[in-house]
Structure 1
């Protein structure tokens, strides 16, 4: 038995990915493929983005593991200086400026790996909620909840130019809705293409989307038809994401908007480890499109709380 085989067998006892491949991998899987798939030869100079993708690939085969998609957090202290009273259903009680904002975002692989482990389909779900938890006069309602299921093809091309590496390419069908009816209903369907490049602590991502056309409504109360025909005027046709990770501290910046209308939104975040998997998290949002109900209303929000899975 070769030294490499002995190393793989020894690693299997400490590496669930290797054990899964040895037990259930295809008969023609090579040692090189196992090493690459399970990142046994990780370079100490790997970027923060590479480390996250490697960790996801190692955990993807685990039966009881759900991978994070976007970051997951709960922000108990979330203050919006410009709350949107227009969609508030609980008058005469006023809407609180303070609420709880949280996000749950997960994904799971639904196909085998293709192209020597470089490509795979995932289903993902992201839930983002704004909860008037401190508004006792209105019985602490959930003001808005956005649901976003996706079908995503993820491809890791491993292209590199100098110090910059293309970490990922993706193509997704995306549906987002606030689950409401009547005049409060908001939704849209998109085809989204994206990519990410990295260099050490820096990662830059970009997405461009095409909104799928819907028929116009015959009246504002018509349950069929387009709930928000002008949404791209405020949400644009794409977004940019900048991430920086150093010493387990994460900085993030998301930019989204429409150059033709001059409207859009920016979200900035900073997180640092506290203990176990709990991280402190500060988030700032300014502009349009923070939520679907407020897609055409400007928010000015500062939030403080906890992050459970960071971007990187």
Structure 2
């Protein structure tokens, strides 16, 4: 389902009412934040996230989830995350305006250090070198291109009365939960590959990621061949795929890897014997021989995250430039640059 349709169906994201007291130094460094939040969660309990993405030094908050007779907004991708990020950015921009400082200067000064990150997120066990948010943010904001665009925006606003432009850079620290999920990979007689996925595709790219990971793993069995076009995703139900789990994290890709490893273990001896006889072995010929030798070409797996990777943090930042018609309220996104740390091979 298209994300915009999803937004219309459930009436947008949760409304929030926020009051805060913030302490800061003249250079923009924030030293204390006290939040009082009312969060309209609708008919079911929900949550708010991403407030801790900045180093507030001293943080206290009173967040109340108010259950009402409105629809729940939980079907939104990253429910509660956008609201929390909006609150954090509103505070940063408020501090910058009071001090007459450039907003990105205040943002950069209050990004977490590795030491403060592990205080605010006590489950973090990654190495300091893997905390890449400051580098990501600098790549977007410390470039000549960004400075030229910001100057262009300023000149446009000086010469236009009813249309205005804005440019803003926003960092993100997003906590991901990993859940146990089952999965299965099957190879058919025609050498096509089917993957059973417990989660649903709602625009977050789940099927694409699983297809890519499956093809990447099984390509170890063939020489310079791409298997991506041979992979298809089978949408399952709770009868064929028990304990399907949720959509967060890399769990669905991991369970595809586990199933592929099982298949590789079965097929690699056959591949080696065929290579000794004929040299290079194509994917189609390998699977054809596997069928003749009655090798099981279907594998099931159940991925269970360890305590160390059940939760982890994602880092990213985006710079967006928009144009607003003050008379009609029409907003146009002119350009968005997104930088995201997707890990290492």
Q: Same fold (TM over 0.5)?
A: no
Larger of the two Rg values belongs to structure: 2
Pick the structure with more helix per residue.
2
TM superposition score normalised by structure 1:
0.24
TM superposition score normalised by structure 2:
0.23
Pick the structure with more strand per residue.
1
